[in-house]
Structure 1
Amino acid sequence: MPPGPSSLALSRSSRQPFRFGRPAATWLQALILLTFMAASSAPTPLYSIYRANWGFSAITLTIVFAVYAISLLLALLMLGSLSDHIGRRPVIIGALALNAAAMAVFMTASAVPLLIAARLLQGLATGAATSALAAGLMDLDRQRGPLINSVAPMIGLALGALGTSILVQFAPAPMQVVFIVLLAAFAVQALAACFLPETSSKRRGALAAMLPTVNVPRQAWRALLLIAPMDVAAWALGGFYLSLGPTLAGRVSGIHAPVIGGLMIFALTVSAAIAVLLLRGWAPQRMLVFGASALTAGIAVTLAGVHGGAVSLFFLGTSLAGVGFGLGFLGALRTVLPTAQPHERAGLMAAFYILSYLAFSLPAIGAGVLTHAVGLIAATDYYGAALIVLAAAALIGARLFPPGRKKAAA
């Protein structure tokens, strides 16, 4: 059987001078994805400092957070399939340059409008990179691609939150130093990305591909609908933690410092990464079932910790919910990705991440509005109850209509 377009593109580009081989290219793209996610969570522990210095409300905080997610969505809609047409490498390099510019704006931000501008640029950069990196990793390593696409974001989110908390606690200029470090990392990675092999053959229609459309292959719709409740529940949980989570952790623990928010996000995302690494051999259906169950139990334990003022229960529930987050996300990814052909991967990944980031942003905005109306604890209760309902729906769907069945989930 002759090699497909992606294989041909890889073999041709790998013969060119000064191109990384397949293993080095895989790890470089994994590192870039990790750094993008670290940058996305880096501002979260700083929100308490921004609020203290600039005096804004919980609604403003969720708007700042949502600007990032919404701009990311727009980038996915317009640029999600672009790397299928012009190649993975130029999209990755351009996204790295744009995110470096976002870090520069963060460094000089002195008011909410500049913070919003930085998050806007960061969202555009991350959206442009996400589908290209996900598809590129699948091109390079079909077996480990889904694992890297699941673990790298979790580890990146954990390192970004915890690393920022440590720098805020011990380094000078807390609102600048983390972004200086990230700016340097993106600059080095942009240079290294110039030597990535191209794994996607160029195709016509790049301008048409930039029209806001969702390119889901016909054969992928059933799988996408199957995993939707799990994916929405997982990312809605992540959106709450990355926006209002540090405020809630401070309320429960009585420690109103950036480090407590960083530790909370670290507990959520590291438990997710560990669960994925240890249980990655499971079948996708088993991951979805166990992920939905762990998410439900974790949210229940977290709410018990909130109402009992028990920090240990709060972090135990957060870690358990993180296990559900990680397994649910990997199970969803492994259910959806095999349904696409190589030239359809970037478009499908764009659709998958559009679903994920809509769940990441819109519920968090609602939580901010609800917090303003009924208070943080009551809003947390309502939010947690909604996520439990979604997780229950995911559990039922995974049991009744497992990925391997041919019967449609009508």
Structure 2
Amino acid sequence: MSRPTRTRDARRSFGFVVVGLGAFAITASSSAPSPLYPVYQQMWGFSAALLTVVFAVYVLALLTMLLTVGSLSDRIGRRPVVGTALLVLAASMLVFIAADDVTWLITARVLQGVAVGAATGALAAAVIDLQPNPKIGPLVNSIGPSLGLALGAAGAGLLVEFAPFPTVLSYASVAVLAVGLAVALFFVPETSPATGFTSVGAAVRSLVPSASVPREVRGRFLLVLPCLMSAWALGGLYMSLGPSIVDAVFGIDDRFVAGLAIATMFGSGTVAAVVMTGRLPRHVVLTGVVLLAAGVLAVVASVLVESVGLYFAATAVAGVGWGSVFVGAMNVIGGMGRPHERGRIFATTFTVC
């Protein structure tokens, strides 16, 4: 192998690690505030209804970015989109640190949603672009988010319960990671050549909210979409209200335990994604749907009988279903379309989810 070839392969391997860590970082940031929500409620005295607003504005900002700039990396390159999003993410973490009322909290969540929405499709596409083999990309696109959600929640819960400065350390850690990854992107090869726009009007029209996939892959896309929607609905429920359920239903006022509820969900999902890799995607998705449904029913039963042990066990089962559905669907979606269409396909996927 010639020296230029080895150098190119090394840069691609480095790039794959960077974008994989990027997928981890943006989702870790999403779950990092969750164990702190009950703390904020106690500090500032806002209602559970307002807490759901804090979560909802994040989703609204995320959806807006997915619908407007979700496919932008197909036109201007992956690195500018991801790098800018990571810097916005770091800024949102600083707003979290400075927050002294719920208005600041909402502002931070909006900025965070903008960053995550802008980066999600581009990072998922870059992982596929830079993957060393066809199996590893979908796996990273599955375990990156689930591992990020799990460790973000568990790590934040641990820091809140046992470390000083509970409303600072978890956000500062994410901010440092985001800035470090933004710098590392300078050494990552660009995988989507910048074709640009033919005119200013074309650039403006590209920002009109839209979500679509190429006609030739639409049938397969629609088959896996309902499964993904179910999985992500459950994930959203746990991220927004999981810690509050531990406190309000089971009477456990411990932020680490509250973070473990989210970590159990997405940690078991990560394990499932690894175990299920390499199996027939259709079978993996079907298995995941069955486990997801069984887990949800058991979660409902645990709340009705107020059994925290059953709650965590049921959460683990639901998490295995979540991870199985996700990795199976990502295997299907990762093989769809041509390279210059991947940003759009992934952005549309996450928009619907």
Q: What CA distance in whole angstroms lies between the structure 2 residues aligned with 1:240 and 1:163?
A: 19
**TM-score, reference length from structure 1:** 0.81
Give 1:100's aligned residue: 90
Q: What CA distance in whole angstroms lies between the structure 2 residues aligned with 1:303 and 1:26?
A: 40
- Which runs of structure 1 show a deviation greater than 6 angstroms over 4 or more consecutive aligned residues? none
SS in 1 for 2:335: helix
1:253 aligns with 2:260: no
1:113 aligns with 2:110: no
1:230-309 matched pairs, under 5 angstroms: 230-309=227-306
Q: Structure 1 residues 297-306 or 125-134, which shifts more?
A: 297-306
- Asked if the contact 2:11–2:187 (Cα under 8 Å) also holds between the matched residues in 1, the reply is no
1:143 is displaced (CA, Å) by 2.9
**TM-score, reference length from structure 2:** 0.93
1:20 is displaced (CA, Å) by 5.9
1:123-272 matched pairs, under 5 angstroms: 123-141=113-131, 142-205=134-197, 207=203, 208-272=205-269
Q: What CA distance in whole angstroms lies between the structure 2 residues aligned with 1:89 and 1:20?
A: 18
1:179 is displaced (CA, Å) by 1.1
Q: What CA distance in whole angstroms lies between the structure 1 residues aligned with 2:59 and 2:150?
A: 18
Per-residue CA shift, 1:147-184, capped at 9, x if unaligned?
Answer: 10000100000111000011111211111121112111
- Asked if the contact 2:135–2:277 (Cα under 8 Å) also holds between the matched residues in 1, the reply is no
- Asked if the contact 1:38–1:156 (Cα under 8 Å) also holds between the matched residues in 2, the reply is yes
1:125 is displaced (CA, Å) by 0.6
Give 1:46's aligned residue: 36
1:250 is displaced (CA, Å) by 1.9
- Asked if the contact 1:252–1:310 (Cα under 8 Å) also holds between the matched residues in 2, the reply is no
Per-residue CA shift, 1:208-252, capped at 9, x if unaligned?
Answer: 322211131111221222122211111110111111111112234
1:92 is displaced (CA, Å) by 1.1
How many residue pairs get matched?
Answer: 342
- Asked if the contact 1:134–1:149 (Cα under 8 Å) also holds between the matched residues in 2, the reply is yes
- Asked if the contact 1:250–1:261 (Cα under 8 Å) also holds between the matched residues in 2, the reply is yes
Q: What CA distance in whole angstroms lies between the structure 2 residues aligned with 1:325 and 1:355?
A: 16
Q: What CA distance in whole angstroms lies between the structure 2 residues aligned with 1:183 and 1:160?
A: 13
Q: Structure 1 residues 38-47 or 189-198, which shifts more?
A: 189-198
1:78 is displaced (CA, Å) by 1.1
Match of 1:336 among 333, 336, 351: 333
Unaligned stretches of 5+ residues in structure 1? 1-10, 357-410
- Asked if the contact 2:154–2:263 (Cα under 8 Å) also holds between the matched residues in 1, the reply is yes
- Return the letter of the residue paired with 1:57: S
1:315 aligns with 2:315: no
1:257 is displaced (CA, Å) by 2.4
Query: Percent identity at matched positions?
Result: 42
Q: What CA distance in whole angstroms lies between the structure 1 residues aligned with 2:146 and 2:332?
A: 19
- Return the letter of the residue paired with 2:268: S
SS in 1 for 2:195: coil
- Return the letter of the residue paired with 2:155: G
Unaligned stretches of 5+ residues in structure 2? none
Q: What CA distance in whole angstroms lies between the structure 1 residues aligned with 2:122 and 2:32?
A: 22
Give 2:70's aligned residue: 80
1:68 is displaced (CA, Å) by 0.9
Per-residue CA shift, 1:173-210, capped at 9, x if unaligned?
Answer: 11112111211111211111111110111113371322
SS in 2 for 1:244: helix
Q: What CA distance in whole angstroms lies between the structure 1 residues aligned with 2:186 and 2:20?
A: 15
- Return the letter of the residue paired with 1:52: Q
SS in 2 for 1:28: helix
Q: Structure 1 residues 153-162 or 326-335, which shifts more?
A: 326-335
Give 1:4's aligned residue: none
RMSD: 1.6
Per-residue CA shift, 1:99-126, capped at 9, x if unaligned?
Answer: 1110110010011111011010111111
- Return the letter of the residue paired with 1:153: P
